[in-house]
């Protein structure tokens, strides 16, 4: 028998972010703002599920969105890479983009650095995904 085309041999590369998004919907999100206006940073792997659920995170993982003409002269991909390689300070990055929530998996640099940020609180952790909320 051949291998199933739906078998994912690398599940650790595709963390199940659905439960994190469901948690965010149920316990964090309220109807005061439309979902697409929530200041949310996601890792590259958690962004698609957030987008599917109606959020518009900072990092859009569709390659055609990275063009400067699509992002009003900014290059989100370069900013994302600078953050991941710590060429940009996480605090400066999050402040400059007015990010209020961070939803990341263990592949993202912020997964490990956010717990050191004094103005952020971890509000969720499961299956290699964490959610942080700005406290001020």
Instruction: Report DSSP state, residue 130.
Output: E
* pLDDT at site 63: 59
State how beta strands 40-42 and 120-126 pair: unpaired
Digit-by-digit pLDDT tens for the chain (136 residues) are 444 444 444 444 444 445 788 888 888 888 788 888 889 999 888 888 888 888 888 877 665 655 555 555 567 778 888 999 999 999 999 999 999 999 999 999 999 999 999 999 999 998 889 999 999 7
What are φ and ψ of residue 48, in 5° steps?
-60, -40
List the one residue out of 28, 26, 24, 25 whose CA is nearest residue 104: 24
Whole-number pLDDT of residue 45: 85
Distant-in-sequence, close-in-space partners of 33: CB < 8 Å, separation ≥ 6: none
- Claim: this prediction has a pTM higher than 0.75: yes
Tell me how far apart the alpha carbons of residues 134 and 28 are, in angstroms, rounded to a whole number.
12
């Amino acid at each position: 028998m051949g291998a199933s085309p739906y078998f994912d041999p690398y599940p650790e590369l595709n963390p199940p972010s659905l439960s994190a998004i469901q948690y965010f919907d149920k316990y964090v999100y309220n109807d005061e703002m439309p979902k697409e206006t929530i200041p949310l940073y996601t890792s590259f792997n958690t962004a698609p599920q957030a987008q599917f659920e109606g959020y518009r995170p900072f990092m859009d993982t569709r390659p055609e969105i990275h063009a400067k003409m699509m992002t009003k002269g900014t290059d989100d991909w370069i900013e994302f890479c600078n953050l991941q390689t710590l060429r940009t300070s996480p605090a400066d990055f999050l402040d400059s983009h007015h990010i209020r929530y961070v939803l990341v998996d263990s592949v993202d640099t912020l997964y490990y650095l956010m717990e050191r940020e004094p103005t952020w609180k971890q509000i969720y952790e499961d299956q290699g995904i964490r959610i942080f909320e700005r406290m001020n």
